[in-house]
Amino acid sequence: MTVIVLTHCPAGLRGFLTRWLLEISPGVFLGNPSARIRDALWDEVRQYAGNGRALLAYSTDSEQGYTFRTHDHTWHPVDHEGLTLILRPSDRPADNPTPTSPQPSKGWSKASKRRRFGNRTQ
């Protein structure tokens, strides 16, 4: 089984993929091509994705039963003791390692502030 997910890619690339795979949702393609065809499709996706992002997931004979590849994603696959995991970038800036509690912006009503932030903002 092969799944390709496209985000912000040209419409022509989506049309190209419909020759080989079924588009089950906008930008989500599903099918069962051979390994040679799958690799050729992935090469085309990487070449014509432009500023878009792409993800390829397919079944394999491994512990997880699948593997995946990414193109221009901020999340990257990392091998961890034989398992492929996703490394997500940190949301916190490097100079401020501890998160701070959210503060309400100006213009909110007092009732809205109490509902969202509790009694600490009165």
Segments in 1-122 forming alpha helices (H): 11-17, 35-48, 110-117
CATH class of 2-89: alpha beta
Residue 108 tokens, joined: 């909110």
pLDDT of residue 77: 85
Angle in degrees, CA 88, 90, 94, rounded to 5: 150
The pLDDT confidence band at residue 20, using thresholds 50, 70 and 90, is very high
Q: Write out pLDDT tens, residues 81-95.
A: 888 888 888 776 656
Neighbours of 30 (CB within 10 A): 14
Report the amino acid identity of residue 85: L
The rounded percent of the chain whose pLDDT value lies above 90 is: 48
Extents of the domains making up the chain: 2-89
For the whole model, what pTM was predicted? Answer: 0.69
